[in-house]
Amino acid sequence: MCRIAGIINNRLQPELIREKVKAMCFELRHGGPDDEGIFYDDTAHLAFGHRRLSIIDLSNNGHQPMADTGQKAWITFNGEIYNYQEIKSELLKQGATFTSTTDTEVILSAYLHWGTAAFSKLRGMFAFALFDTVKSLTYLVRDTAGVKPVYYFIKDDGLSFASEIRAFGAAGLATQKDAHWPIRFLAFGHIPEPYTTLESVYSLPKGCYLCWNHATSTHEMRSYDQPAIKDQVTDANEAQQLIKAALIKAVNRQMIADAPLGVFLSGGIDSSLITLLADQQKKQQLKTISIFFDEKQYDEQAYQRLILDEISGENFSHLVKQQDFENHFPEIIDAMDMPTTDGINSWFISKYAHDDGLKAVLSGVGADEYFGGYPSFNRIRFLGHLRNIPPFLFSAIRGVLPDPYKKLAFLASKSSIADYLLLRGLFSPGDISKILDTDTRQVADVLFNDHDVPELGPYNHEHAFWFETNLYMQNQLLRDTDVMSMRHGLEVRVPFLDEDFTGVAQSIAPQIRFNNQQPKKLLIDSFSNLLPTSVWDRPKMGFSFPLQMWMSKNHRISDVSFYNGKLAQNSIQKFKNNQIHWSKAYALYQVQGHV
């Protein structure tokens, strides 16, 4: 797990390219504290940078950027390939040779043997750049779940890329702000892919590769083959057996590490299940990281203890207080890279995992999305009924809607994005236009015309699944988990997003996979002999902090005089009176600080 950066530009002098890539690497050093490497090819006007967090093969053999023995290809790689040993065995039979035990070298060898077809063989979380010195092509490649980020910027016949947005600014490559990011942020609570806060800097789509032709300074974007979805499973018992086998396999192979590895244990279904399965592997003494609070309504210690009583290994439990939030607030804001209304919980637990000596952890992200764990999976049906009302009626009443119902104004648009924003959005289009002092037509154009959403069909569980996976999880949970954990030099692995496991999950008929009465019923039933009843037979909490209370006492966020505009000031006053959710106040604070 690392941070990567690079530049290809025939118009820049090689010395300047080197200087800029060094600046990018320096800005990304927190994500790769163990080593730095830079590869230059002056003839190709190319430089790859790498900051290393050593997880597999801790020796100097893992130094990057890395080349094959014949230097036909160079790579700078961020991530983990969990099936690299199987691929390596296949390559050895075909005559390949290796000088290290790294998964990085396996990617190089796989590409040299199979070309771009190698990308679909990889199982893991990854973002890498690979330079084919023979064909004068460079590939940017991202994993199928979009766990690891990579951003790119194309200008003046040149390509630059990095793991975080901040690197482009540090090198002076892209400094112009995207004028529309505040609109997107106030609506979504994050910056949705492919957009960023910088103009013309985009996120590479998941499951895709960008191919840069050095000879012509042109590029093309392609998706690579995804794992095939099997025939639909309609038998509940068969589905349970498939889920059980696939998750055990996913956890097993994601525990490969030559550095200390642990599990985030919150006490909920997902983290508890991952912890219990990881403990069964007994590959090493399992370490668990937990957080608890003085505010009892958020404290899950009792459920954490239920799991800890079942496993061996060491638990590190940390009390987080209001004062901790106050003390670290500036660091949390700085770690974000791009504005977000999430990630505070990830910042704290990643900090503690790092402080406790861990370099990699397993997380339960993905289970709610794949098995219907969110309220949206049931609410989506009501949205379908609302869509039977003519949109012009929502246009007519949007100016008189009270605060709790203002988001209904989204339904004045027929866009699927409007559906999602009604379920999960923050501010209504009218309020966004007032906060930013901009035209409502521009707000609507940015929100509803700048996003590519496929035809989603009926308002059912599968519709909600697409929203939660491709919008909420992709843009908020995964991005925030990555940037907050890497701020502390920590790798977070997500077994529920293992390619083979998600392929199995999606092969199961929706009527079995989702359940109206009991969220995640299929997952719970699949491990009924392992998961304690009291862990799942209780109200859902999520990995939540007491932020409603903490932020209302935070003088930075709750200072009404800090904000411009009547609506923003009124919103903060309502927040102080506990009349609106903390995420709205947090979003306003960040916009005020950047606009």
Closest CA to 431 of 340, 566, 557, 560: 566
How do residues 514-524 score in pLDDT, each as one tens digit? 999 999 999 99
Q: Is the pLDDT of residue 390 over 60?
A: yes
Domain boundary among 458, 473, 494: 458
State whether 219 and 76 are in the same domain: yes
Domain boundary among 432, 458, 484: 458
> Is residue 340 domain-resident?
yes
Tell me the percentage of the chain whose pLDDT exceeds 70. 95
Please confirm whether the linkage preceding 65 is cis (ω < 30° from 0): yes
Closest CA to 337 of 150, 559, 553, 550: 150
How do residues 4-50 score in pLDDT, each as one tens digit? 999 999 999 999 999 999 999 999 999 877 878 999 999 999 999 99
How do residues 480-495 score in pLDDT, each as one tens digit? 999 999 999 999 999 9
> Is residue 328 domain-resident?
yes
H/E element holding 110?
Answer: helix 103-114
State whether 362 and 489 are in the same domain: yes
Q: Is the pLDDT of residue 548 over 60?
A: yes
State whether 342 and 443 are in the same domain: no
User: Which DSSP string corresponds to 324-379?
Assistant: HHHHHHHHHHHHTSS--S--HHHHHHHHHHHHTT-SEEE--TTHHHHHT-STHHHH
Q: What is the mean pLDDT of the chain?
A: 92
State whether 350 and 402 are in the same domain: no
> Is residue 107 domain-resident?
yes
Instruction: Answer whether 356's CB lies under 8 Å from 287's CB.
Output: yes
> Is residue 380 domain-resident?
no
Closest CA to 127 of 209, 71, 51, 197: 209
Domain boundary among 423, 458, 493: 458
- The residues with which 131 forms a beta bridge, in sequence order, are 74, 138
**What is residue 300's predicted lDDT score, i.e. its pLDDT?**
85
pLDDT band at 223 (very low <50, low <70, confident <90, very high): very high
Residue 485: give its domain's CATH number. 3.40.50.620
> Is residue 85 domain-resident?
yes
What is the count of structural domains for the chain?
Answer: 4
Average pLDDT over every residue of 423-432: 94
**What is residue 225's predicted lDDT score, i.e. its pLDDT?**
72
Instruction: Answer whether 72's CB lies under 8 Å from 27's CB.
Output: no
Average pLDDT over every residue of 369-385: 94
Cα(124)–Cα(143) distance, rounded to whole angstroms? 7
**What is residue 7's predicted lDDT score, i.e. its pLDDT?**
98
How do residues 175-216 score in pLDDT, each as one tens digit? 999 999 999 999 999 999 999 999 999 999 999 999 999 999
Average pLDDT over every residue of 267-276: 94
Question: Which backbone phi and psi does 265 adopt, to 5 degrees?
Answer: -120, 105
> Is residue 230 domain-resident?
no
CA dihedral 416, 417, 423, 424 (to 10 degrees): 160
Instruction: Answer whether 377's CB lies under 8 Å from 424's CB.
Output: no
* Residue located via tokens 């958020």: 298
Cα(583)–Cα(589) distance, rounded to whole angstroms? 10
**What is residue 299's predicted lDDT score, i.e. its pLDDT?**
78
Integer angstrom CA distances of residue 2 from 104, 262, 457, 522:
12, 18, 39, 35
Please give the residue that has the higher pLDDT: either 397 or 138: 138
State whether 424 and 564 are in the same domain: no
**What is residue 57's predicted lDDT score, i.e. its pLDDT?**
63
Cα(534)–Cα(547) distance, rounded to whole angstroms? 26
For residue 281, give its domain range: 236-372+461-545
pLDDT band at 576 (very low <50, low <70, confident <90, very high): very high
pLDDT band at 403 (very low <50, low <70, confident <90, very high): confident
pLDDT band at 595 (very low <50, low <70, confident <90, very high): low
Instruction: Answer whether 216's CB lies under 8 Å from 154's CB.
Output: no
Beta strands at 261-264 and 360-362: parallel, antiparallel or unpaired: parallel
**What is residue 541's predicted lDDT score, i.e. its pLDDT?**
59
Residue 80: give its domain's CATH number. 3.60.20.10
How do residues 101-129 score in pLDDT, each as one tens digit? 999 999 999 999 999 999 999 999 999 99
State whether 245 and 343 are in the same domain: yes
State whether 246 and 270 are in the same domain: yes
State whether 131 and 182 are in the same domain: yes
Q: Is the pLDDT of residue 56 over 70?
A: no
DSSP-derived 3-state class of residue 453:
coil
> Is residue 228 domain-resident?
no
pLDDT band at 400 (very low <50, low <70, confident <90, very high): low
State whether 153 and 247 are in the same domain: no
> Is residue 351 domain-resident?
yes
State whether 30 and 160 are in the same domain: yes
How do residues 293-344 score in pLDDT, each as one tens digit? 988 777 788 889 999 999 988 999 999 999 999 999 999 999 999 999 999 9
Beta strands at 137-142 and 208-213: parallel, antiparallel or unpaired: antiparallel
| Reported pTM | 0.95
State whether 410 and 474 are in the same domain: no
Instruction: Answer whether 286's CB lies under 8 Å from 324's CB.
Output: no
**What is residue 320's predicted lDDT score, i.e. its pLDDT?**
95
State whether 504 and 399 are in the same domain: no
